[in-house]
């Protein structure tokens, strides 16, 4: 799959997720085979870029290619300026968020709420594409609500505006993450567009990935929530696609070393205090996929120092006798 001049090494990409896909997590997912990773959603209001949260979100992956940054907003001028500034910082792809269903985003007429205003969508996309010389991509939902699935209309606007790849989550904005993703609209969009179309939503396992590819005819798949606590899902998906069989699960030592490397990367990136807070949720997600990890999870998510989180992780894996540690 190509985006502009970039040939992705895998058709499985990591979905941008606020509060999750920071530099340490993106780096980890690429190590396990993600074809592209994109920054957390960043506001186009550059007046807010001086906050600690925004500064971390704007830290770029200079070792990644392409280096993709996602921006969100509802004002064409601000979006264009934000895109230019991101490119000046080293972004090689600008991704526009029109898929986030979060109320605090939609209340500002941004994210998925923009799908209700096709004319504004057209103005925003034209402004950003004109403002930068790098590929611009777009993430949308199938529509704003089940009674208004206008994803195809928005997709045509995107292609006509110069968008070079389109990711479509198989739910409407109003659906949030409830129910099951549907891919009929994604398939319809793929049939009518010439740019790459990436399907997103409910891709949780290898077999499901092939089912979504069949249902949607998409060029690629975007993995979001399923990567939390199991960044090795990209290793599993790539192997299954290439070989038609499941790769052997990671051994206990590999899971342990992955978790420890992630924790230490978080502490380096954020500093110990914030790093410990960020690590708590990742430890919770890791434990959800580990056998007999209830006690470990209870302790790890309450630990108030980096040393304690590291010690608890070593202790847990030291007590596990079998290499068979990943929950089915």
Domains of the chain: 2-243 (3.20.20.70), 252-319 (1.10.1200)
- pLDDT score of 254: 96
DSSP classification of residue 321: -
Q: What is the DSSP string of 261-308?
A: HHHHHHHHHH-HHHHHHHHHHHHHHHHHTBTT-HHHHHHHTT--SHHH
Rounded CA gap, 117 and 122, in Å?
9
More confident residue, 64 or 216: 216
- pLDDT score of 59: 74
Structure tokens at 69: 């940054």
Model pLDDT for residues 129-176, shown as the tens digit of each residue: 999 999 999 999 999 888 889 999 999 999 999 999 999 999 998 899
The residue annotated as part of the active site, out of 29, 86, 100, 175, is 100
Rounded CA gap, 286 and 294, in Å?
11
Mean pLDDT of the chain: 93
- pLDDT score of 48: 75
Rounded CA gap, 244 and 239, in Å?
8
Model pLDDT for residues 84-138, shown as the tens digit of each residue: 999 999 999 999 999 988 777 776 667 899 999 999 999 999 999 999 999 999 9
pLDDT at residue 258 is higher than 70: yes
Relative to beta strand 2-3, strand 6-7 is antiparallel
- pLDDT score of 109: 64
- pLDDT score of 126: 98
Contacts of 306 (CB under 8 A, 6+ apart): 263, 267, 272, 275, 276, 279
Of 56-65, 115-124, 227-236, the poorest mean pLDDT is in 56-65
Q: What is the DSSP string of 75-88?
A: -HHHHHHHHHHHHH
- pLDDT score of 64: 83
The side-by-side arrangement of strands in the sheet containing 42-43 is: 12-14, 220-223, 197-200, 165-169, 136-141, 93-98, 68-72, 42-43
pLDDT-derived band of residue 54, with 50, 70 and 90 as boundaries?
A: low
Q: What is the mean pLDDT of residues 257-274?
A: 96
Rounded CA gap, 3 and 90, in Å?
17
287 is catalytic: no
Q: What is the mean pLDDT of residues 223-243?
A: 96
Residue reference for tokens 């070593």: 314
Helices (H), 65-220: 76-89, 103-106, 118-131, 151-161, 184-192, 206-216
CA-nearest of 168, 214, 225 to 195 is 168
Structure tokens at 40: 């957390």
- pLDDT score of 324: 82
Q: In Å, how far are 60, 179, 245 from 146, measured between CA atoms?
A: 36, 12, 36
């Amino acid at each position: 799959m190509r985006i502009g001049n970039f040939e992705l090494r895998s058709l499985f990409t990591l979905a941008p997720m606020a509060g999750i896909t920071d530099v340490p997590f993106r780096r980890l997912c690429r190590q396990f085979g993600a074809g592209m990773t994109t920054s957390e959603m960043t506001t186009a209001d550059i007046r807010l870029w001086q906050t600690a949260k925004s500064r971390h979100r704007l830290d770029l992956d200079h070792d990644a290619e392409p280096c993709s940054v996602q921006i969100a907003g509802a004002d064409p001028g601000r979006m264009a300026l934000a895109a230019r500034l991101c490119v000046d910082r080293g972004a090689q792809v600008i991704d526009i968020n029109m898929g986030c269903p979060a109320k605090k985003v939609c209340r500002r007429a941004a994210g998925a709420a923009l799908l209700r205003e096709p004319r504004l969508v057209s103005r925003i996309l034209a402004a950003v594409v004109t403002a930068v010389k790098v590929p611009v991509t777009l993430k949308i939902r199938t529509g704003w609500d089940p009674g208004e699935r206008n994803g195809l209309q928005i997709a045509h606007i995107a292609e006509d505006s110069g968008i070079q790849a389109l990711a479509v989550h198989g739910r409407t904005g109003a659906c949030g993450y409830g129910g099951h993703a549907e891919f009929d609209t994604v398939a319809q969009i793929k049939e009518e567009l010439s740019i790459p179309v990436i399907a997103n939503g409910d891709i949780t396992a290898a077999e499901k990935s092939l089912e979504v590819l069949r249902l949607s005819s998409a060029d690629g798949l975007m993995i979001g929530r399923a990567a939390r606590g199991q960044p090795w899902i990209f290793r599993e998906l790539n192997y299954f696609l290439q070989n038609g069989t499941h790769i052997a699960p990671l051994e206990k030592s590999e899971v342990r070393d992955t978790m420890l490397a992630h924790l230490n990367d978080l502490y380096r990136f954020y500093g110990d205090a914030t790093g410990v807070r960020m690590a708590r949720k990742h430890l919770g997600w890791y434990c959800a996929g580990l056998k007999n990890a209830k006690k470990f999870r209870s302790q790890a998510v309450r630990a108030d120092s980096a040393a304690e989180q590291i010690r608890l992780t070593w202790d847990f894996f030291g007590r596990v006798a079998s290499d068979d540690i990943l929950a089915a």
